[in-house]
Amino acid sequence: MFELNGKVALVTGGRRGLGLAMAAGLARAGATVAVNGTAAESAELKKKMTAAGAPWAYFRADLADRDQRQGLVQRVVDRFGRLDILVNGAGIQYRQPAMEFDLGKWDLIISLMLTAVFELSQQAARVMEKQGGGKIVNIGSLSCFQGGWTVPAYTAAKHGVAGLTKALANEWAAKNIQVNAIAPGYFDTDMCAPIKADPVREPKIRDRIPAGRWGEPEDLVGPLLFLASDASNYVDGHILVVDGGWMVR
């Protein structure tokens, strides 16, 4: 039920961190994986994807740029013949008090983390409908539910992703396209490194997490395989929180 043999997946933001862990996890489950990132391939990417043992390829594109994200799904289909799974994982972070928040950064974050999610979902759904179905998994955040601090654009984008997930699920469930989201909590990644290194904030965060630790990228693989596989064929519009219990504290 959780095997992905014969499936083709596209993971955006898959060059490192959570995205790379998810891409490698999909490959270990048998999927052929198209990995998208902005920068050139990294040694870590090549090592982990090769070790996963399934066919894969890297598709470089800056998804904040509409010209570069247009046709990305078709590039994957041209290479591998189909697309069964889309993981919208690309994201960035920028912190600044709301009164001074840079509007250029606002436009960049919304373009990458909300508009691109919609555009790629559109591209993928058109392919999936012809194939008889598929899976779209959006990567949200605790910021789908909370306001955060000095991250107004990130929070707005993630709230948007939560709403978009439900809207697309409503329209596409009857087409056998399941649209769901994962909302990670505090994970040990480069994006969270400044907070994890903060001697004041880090203990406060960890003390609130019932599991008593930050998440590791591999902690997302199981939830992703559930939402990307036949195990979730009757799950639509759900936001699966993976946070060690933060939200229930």
Domains by residue range for the chain, with CATH: 8-248 (3.40.50.720)
Comparison of pLDDT for 189 and 59, the residue scoring more:
59
Active site residues per annotation: 154
Structure tokens at 46: 């090549």
Q: Which residue, chain included where needed, has tokens 């959570």?
A: 18
Residue 195 pLDDT level (bands cut at 50, 70, 90): confident
3-class DSSP assignment, residue 133: coil
Comparison of pLDDT for 195 and 207, the residue scoring more:
207
Amino acid letter at 94? Answer: Y
What is the per-residue pLDDT for 190?
79
Burial class (CB in 10 A: 0-12, 13-18, 19+), 20: buried
Say if residue 74's pLDDT is above 90: yes
Q: Which of 152, 172, 176, 174 is nearest to 164 (CA)?
A: 172
Say if residue 100's pLDDT is above 90: yes
pTM over 0.85: yes
What is the per-residue pLDDT for 196?
85
Helices (H), 53-151: 66-69, 72-80, 103-110, 116-131
